[in-house]
Chains A and B, each alone.
Chain A
Amino acid sequence: MRKMRLIRCLAMTGVIILLFAGISTKAQIVKPASWSFTAKKVKADLYELHMTAIIKDGWAIYSQLTPEGGPERTVISFDKNANLLLGGKVKEMGTMKKKHEEVFAVDVHYFEHDVSFVQLLKIKNLKGDRTIKGNVNYMVCDKSQCITDEVPFSVLLK
């Protein structure tokens, strides 16, 4: 008979164990921004979804307020969930900088180092579906290149 095997787990959400993590030597595409998604409880039926980007030095991502004609704005979209109400627009928490760019002839609104996009969410039925899903579409640039990317998220409000 097989001995009982126990699975030791860490306090994080699921990640497949990578057998070659850390020793792969093939070239990797740069990832200047990394995103995390967390739900913060305000009241029993009220939550804040924090969508946080950590940005590498020398890179910037762009505010939702950047005028058209400039760099692509960060756009956050939510999948429909009839049990959740969106409270207002997505707020931006971070140090927003403004700079007039000749090349675009607009004032570019951007963030460096880190920024949190925050959406207030109200749960209609506490026993119903409490999962908020969606996508962040954003652009990140440094002096020599721009990367557009899409990050899907799925967060349980608990």
Chain B
Amino acid sequence: MKKYISALILSAQFGLMFQTIAQTQPQFSLYGQIDGLQDGVKIYLVKDKPSNKKLLDTVSVATSKDGNFYFTGKVPDGIGFYYLQTNAVAAMTQGLVLVNANMKLSGDWQSWPMIKLTGSDSHLQYLEILKFNAEMNAKLKTENADVATAKSRKANVFKSYINSHLNSLITPFVIDQLIETIEMPELKTLYDALGQDAKNASFGLSLDKKLKRAEKLGAIKVGSIIPHFNLTMADGTIASIKSLAAKNKITLIDFWASWCKPCRMENPNLTEVYNAYHDKGFGILGISSDKKAELWKKALAEDKTPWLHGLDTELAGQNIFEIKAIPSYMMIDQEGKILALELLSPIKGDGPGLRGKVLHETVKKLVNL
């Protein structure tokens, strides 16, 4: 009996301890107080999926009572865009920037979803940014500024905002918005200057990922060495891109697939160039993105192209070069140095042309160098 009691006390103490630990974890509470909101209205708290801005994930559902509703939980990585949706009225389009804090929503059901959020400094900063943006847009419009001017003036306004809010969790989001507008070294400088908390919160983490990707893609350019990957050849052997490049003085890489008509329609032109310059050191390497090896082999048997063929079993086309459309082409030399790029990908096309009739001229020049 005594043992039993002490066990109880112990578990009660443990229970208390766990509760204390749970309370120190960063959490948010979101308390809604909406005049005129009827009882029993289901309110969905939804969150942007960082990977796809069009997709929303329902995080939690609350049911209204006496004009109130209540959400609690954790904002992953400290900050995020959320929306409230109901089945009855218009959905919210402008995000609520939630953080792990006690926050309050207030307003009137008549004017829903126009409501006020307090308790999140990041949300107020977001509204401030949007106001800046709207004012700037209006000003540029009345001044009839051209695109280049508008772009650089807006970029300057936001750069000064970034530099005066280096510790705000929302600031990496502002830098993110500049990705399409300013160049890589400057973006990197802006990111590097951020405070540690801003870097570690969700917008900072996703910005870091984007910048790293941009750096990786930026390194693939004319004059640099092609990144390493392997292909599965028709006989089942695995070959590295370097070993395949070494077979000829210059190699045209043709990203294609059996199901791609425009790719296969290009074969007569490729064959012509191949036959004219193969003796002088010109090779072609077909890299197929076919998922089914038998369809790839069937197409090889039908087309009977005389050059090298590999199946992209490591998904290099997708993961390294981020190819969005095929056919895509690149030219490399014996050492794997990139001579020309014509990829339908975020990687900039560079060097002499590789498509259609232009290919003849390019190959003629390169084999004679």
A-side residues, CB < 8 A to B, are: 2, 4-20, 23-27, 29-30, 68-72, 101, 103-105, 131, 139, 141-149, 152-154, 156, 158
Contacts and interface: CB of A to CB of B under 8 A. Distances in A.
A150 B327 CA distance: 19
Interface in B76-97: 81, 83, 85, 87, 90-95
* A19, A27, A144, A145: most-surrounded residue (chain B CB, <10 A): A19
26 contacts: A4-B116, A5-B127, A6-B111, A6-B114, A7-B114, A7-B116, A8-B114, A9-B90, A9-B114, A13-B83, A14-B81, A14-B83, A17-B94, A17-B133, A19-B158, A24-B181, A25-B148, A29-B346, A70-B259, A71-B261, A139-B259, A145-B262, A146-B257, A146-B262, A146-B326, A156-B44
Nearest to A26: B180
Contact of B113 (A9, A20, A131): A9
Given A7-B114, A17-B130, A12 B261 contact: no
A145 B55 contact: no
Contacts of A8: 94, 114
A145 B93 contact: no
B54 interface: yes
B133 A19 contact: yes
Interface in B107-162: 107, 111, 113-117, 124, 127, 129-130, 133, 147-148, 150-151, 154, 158
Nearest to A154: B55
Contacts of B129: 19
Contact of B95 (A5, A16, A103): A16
Nearest to A15: B93
Given A9-B94, A103-B265, A18 B147 contact: no
Contact of B324 (A4, A20, A147): A147
Nearest to A150: B52
B116 A14 contact: no
A27 to B, nearest CB: 8
B261 A103 contact: yes
A151 to B, nearest CB: 9
Nearest to B178: A20
B54 A15 contact: yes
Contacts of B302: 105
B300 interface: no
Contacts of A143: 262
Contacts of B180: 20, 24, 26
B148 to A, nearest CB: 7
Contact of A16 (B55, B81, B87, B91): B81
Nearest to A142: B262
Contact of B174 (A2, A19, A158): A19
* The 6 residue pairs across chains A and B that have the minimum distance between CB atoms: A24-B180, A147-B325, A14-B83, A146-B260, A19-B177, A11-B90
B104 interface: no
Nearest to B87: A158
Contact of B92 (A9, A24, A144): A9
B245 to A, nearest CB: 25
B262 A144 contact: yes
A32 B181 CA distance: 24
A154 B57 contact: yes
